[in-house]
Amino acid sequence: MRARNIAVRIEGSTGFEALIYSVYIHYYVEARQALSFDTGVTDLGTHVAKQISEMDFDIEAEGVITWRWYADIPGQLLVLRQTNSFPAPPSRKRVEVQMLTDPAKPGRRAQAAPGGVE
């Protein structure tokens, strides 16, 4: 089912008290047409430092894809740590990008920032 908004109604009858503690909606964001994409700053789910070994792109584009990787360690400021390009696949494809691993440069927060299509 595709939707922009959602509402959930739970109905029933019982002779006892019923408590609903949570409702989970599992979804994924639909692909969109754009010339750039920015993840925004994320801590990847935890505040501890991480070492990133690869990124996966689920992408369909034409031309050359340029990406930039920013991280905040050392220095506590998001700084460009790595950038590279790869040829866009001719149809939708998952592209794995190996990161240059440097144990001295892990990060607590990260951002895959706009690179764009050339």
Mean pLDDT across 97-116: 57
Mean pLDDT value across the chain: 75
Q: Per DSSP, what are the bridge partners of residue 50?
A: 107
Neighbours of 48 (CB within 10 A): 9
> What is the predicted pLDDT for the residue at 117?
45
Look up the pTM and report it.
0.55
pLDDT at 104 over 80: no
Quote the longest CA-to-CA distance of the chain: 64
Please name which of 115, 49, 58 lies closest in space to residue 82, comparing C-alpha atoms: 115
pLDDT at 111 over 60: no
